[in-house]
Amino acid sequence: MTPRLVLQARGIVKHYGHVTALDGADFELRAGEILGLIGDNGAGKSTLIKALSGALVPDRGEIFVDGARVQFRTPSDARRAGIETLYQELAVAPALSIVENLFMGRELRRPGFLGNALRVLDKRRMLEESTAYMKELGIGIQSMKQAVENLSGGQRQGVAVARSAAFARHVVIMDEPTAALGVKEGNLVLDLIRRVRDRGLSVVLISHNMPHVFEVADRIHVARLGRRVAVLDPKRVTMSDAVAVMTGAMNPEQLPA
Amino acid sequence: MLGTLGPLLALIAACLFFASRSERFLTADNLSIVLQQVMVVGVIAIGQTLVILTAGVDLSCGMVMALGGIVMTKLAVDYQLPAALAIAAGIGATTLFGAINGLLVTRLRLPPFIVTLGTLNIAFAVTQLYSNAQTITDVPAGLTTLGNAFQLGGSSVVYGALVMLALYVVAAFALSQTAAGRHVYAVGNNPEGARLSGIATQRVLLGVYMLAGVCYGLAALLSVARTGVGDPNAGQAENLEAITAVVVGGTSLFGGRGFVLSSLVGALIVGVFRNGLTLMGVSSVYQMLVTGVLVILAVATDQFSRRVAQRGES
């Protein structure tokens, strides 16, 4: 029996002027898995992710969510389809509080006249929900009202991961969530990613950090020159073979199936 | 925390200083004069705060206000339009300029500094051409009502000052308690992140510039009410004073940080310095000098606190 695909792409093409960023890329994400996405610089990882998350519109190709064809024009379209994306470096507004970052773009309003007519925010409910949720994910933070810029790098990334996971219904795409973090903080985020999967979501993890990818990924999608060249099983393929495939030094057919 | 309290402490310190130098400073009459002098700049500063919170700047604010004043007085005097209609048309004109600024910033993606430097000149030229560079006098009473005063505890308070305070309350409420207000901060703090969070950043920016235009229109009304004329050369001092008020209040020019009420404090600081130095008999050239030092001090504080914050994060 083939596993259910929550997110799928076929033959995605994207040109930037004369540069071909994606040259017929395919993509398959199964329900409840962590899919590692690796590739050298310029392999088209970011462009693929942007196409899947609605941040850009591909020139050609098809995208399916739960088997149904979709066309994303904006990030909001993808979000409505249950796909959340956590972008590298861009995820949080440093001067705003943790609560505000968690609810950015989908703030809760007070019930009744205050909320409907005056559009007053329900700060208390947002605070309560944030606190409960961060606790559930095991992110220990004293005050949810402090500005994100006062947090450590790992905590900050924790907020970003938590935010994308909180609102995703199907898929969370994470672009380099462990970049620029120390060993301990990196592990904290990896744990968090596992917990997100265990909540039933599918996760796409883009990373240059091979040990991190091999530690948490269930399968690994290898991108090269704008295409998908292989999907590897991290339990059966070594890290050095994966890198060899990624850089073109090894033909994927030489790998153990 | 120092960033928000600092300006307030500076205001109190300035008041204490001038009170010790001039007996007249702390009298009710003088304080009501300060409020009256501050109300026009104060209302412009509300719009300016919105723009600066988005990491922009509006150099055209004073000139657009002057245009609004000319439009409303000319329509009321030359065309005998009812006051309410004339006022609405004046505010409409300033809002239109705000929309032009906003569209150029969002659609053509031009830097706000350059866009508003352009519209500063355009608004000034249009004002001069439309008014033939003539001051419009005999303005009907309907346009100057807000310049009237009522008695409060032995001193007279201008209605316009109340309008200003009410506008600050509304702006502070909207910025802190509504999603739209928080989106202004998000767009200024991290525009790309805000966009990716599903915030319609272009619409927020356009809205901010248009609301700023509305503020300049209301400021025009207060200016007409205060002076009793439509002055094509109005707004020239207010143009930079409004930016000064916002910056001295502690709102960051880099966007996303600050409070609209601090701009009121900033406007009061500038007003108190101006008034206090006048009472001390210091010539207006020195007042400009002091204002200049204040601005640089405020921006330096902003830069310094940002650098400290950044050092903390790495």
Task: Note the ipTM here.
Answer: 0.76
Interface contact A95-B179, CB threshold 8 A: no
Distance from CA of B6 to the nearest CA of A (A): 18
Per-window interface: A 128-167 vs B, CB < 8 A: 149-150, 153
Residue B61 lies in a domain: yes
Which residue intervals of A22-97 are DSSP H helices? 45-52, 75-80
Interface contact B186-A153, CB threshold 8 A: no
Sequence-ordered list of residues with C-beta below 8 angstroms from that of A202, at least 6 positions apart, any chain: A6, A7, A29, A30, A31, A32, A33, A34, A35, A170, A171, A172
Interface contact B197-A119, CB threshold 8 A: no
3-state secondary structure of A86: strand
Higher pLDDT, B203 or B151: B203
B48: which 2 tokens?
Answer: 């300016």
Among the partner-chain residues B193, B199, B313, the one whose CB lies closest to the CB of A149 is: B313
State yes or no: pLDDT of B155 exceeds 90.
no
User: What whole-number distance in Å separates Cα of residue B18 and Cα of residue B274?
Assistant: 11
- Kindly report which listed range (A152-161, B78-87, B125-134) carries the lowest average pLDDT score: A152-161
Q: What is the pLDDT of residue B5?
A: 78
Average of per-residue pLDDT across B235-243: 90
Q: What is the pLDDT of residue A255?
A: 74
Interface contact A93-B190, CB threshold 8 A: yes
User: What whole-number distance in Å separates Cα of residue A70 and Cα of residue A74?
Assistant: 12
Average of per-residue pLDDT across A191-197: 89
What residues make up the domain containing A187?
5-95+169-254
Sequence-ordered list of residues with C-beta below 8 angstroms from that of B219, at least 6 positions apart, any chain: B40, B41, B43, B44, B47, B65, B68, B238
Closest CA in chain A for residue B252: A95
Sequence-ordered list of residues with C-beta below 8 angstroms from that of B6, at least 6 positions apart, any chain: B250, B301
* Interval B180-197: pLDDT, tens: 999 999 999 999 888 888
- Counted across chains A and B, CB pairs separated by less than 8 A come out at 73
Residue B130 lies in a domain: yes
- For residues A167 and A86, the answer to whether their CB atoms sit within 8 Å is no
User: What whole-number distance in Å separates Cα of residue B53 and Cα of residue B55?
Assistant: 5
Contacts of A118 in chain B (CB under 8 A): 178
Among the partner-chain residues A76, A109, A121, the one whose CB lies closest to the CB of B198 is: A76
Q: Which helix (H) or strand (E) holds B11?
A: helix B2-21
Residue B12 lies in a domain: no
* Interval A110-146: pLDDT, tens: 888 888 888 888 899 999 988 888 887 777 777 888 8
Contacts of B178 in chain A (CB under 8 A): 118-121
B226: CATH = 1.10.3470
Look at chain B and report how many structural domains it folds into: 1
A174: CATH = 3.40.50.300
* Interval A32-76: pLDDT, tens: 999 999 998 888 888 999 999 988 899 999 999 999 999 999 888
Average of per-residue pLDDT across B255-276: 93
pLDDT level of residue B313 (50, 70, 90 thresholds): very low
State yes or no: pLDDT of A257 exceeds 60.
no
Closest CA in chain B for residue A119: B178
What residues make up the domain containing B80?
2-7+24-306
Residue B13 lies in a domain: no
Interface contact B182-A119, CB threshold 8 A: no
Distance from CA of B206 to the nearest CA of A (A): 17
% of residues, chain B, pLDDT over 90: 68
* Interval A215-230: pLDDT, tens: 999 999 999 999 999 9
Q: Which helix (H) or strand (E) holds B207?
A: helix B201-227
Contacts of B196 in chain A (CB under 8 A): 55, 75, 85, 87, 90-91
Closest CA in chain B for residue A77: B198
State yes or no: pLDDT of B152 exceeds 60.
yes
State yes or no: pLDDT of B310 exceeds 70.
no
Residue B281 lies in a domain: yes
- For residues A28 and A19, the answer to whether their CB atoms sit within 8 Å is no
The number of helices, as runs of H, and strands, as runs of E, in chain A is: 9, 10
User: What whole-number distance in Å separates Cα of residue A172 and Cα of residue A166?
Assistant: 10
Sequence-ordered list of residues with C-beta below 8 angstroms from that of B83, at least 6 positions apart, any chain: B76, B140, B141, B142, B143
Q: What is the pLDDT of residue A106?
A: 82
Residue A137 lies in a domain: no
User: What whole-number distance in Å separates Cα of residue A31 and Cα of residue B188?
Assistant: 37
CA distances from B126 to A65, B70, B98, B133, B236 (A): 55, 10, 15, 10, 15
pLDDT level of residue B54 (50, 70, 90 thresholds): very high
User: What whole-number distance in Å separates Cα of residue B29 and Cα of residue B308?
Assistant: 43
Residue B16 lies in a domain: no
Q: What is the pLDDT of residue B1?
A: 44
Q: How many residues does chain A have?
A: 257
* Strands, sheet with A60-65, edge to edge from the N-terminal-most edge strand: A19-30, A5-16, A60-65, A68-70
State yes or no: pLDDT of B2 exceeds 70.
no
Beta strand B155-158 with B149-152 is antiparallel
Among the partner-chain residues B179, B190, B257, the one whose CB lies closest to the CB of A121 is: B179
Look at chain A and report how many structural domains it folds into: 1
Interface contact A109-B179, CB threshold 8 A: yes
Residue A227 lies in a domain: yes
Residue A158 lies in a domain: no
What is the torsion angle, in degrees rounded to the nearest 10, for the CA atoms of residue A66, residue A69, residue A72 and residue A78?
-10
CA distances from B48 to A159, B243, B250 (A): 32, 7, 13
Residue A84 lies in a domain: yes
Residue A155 lies in a domain: no
- For residues B303 and B257, the answer to whether their CB atoms sit within 8 Å is no
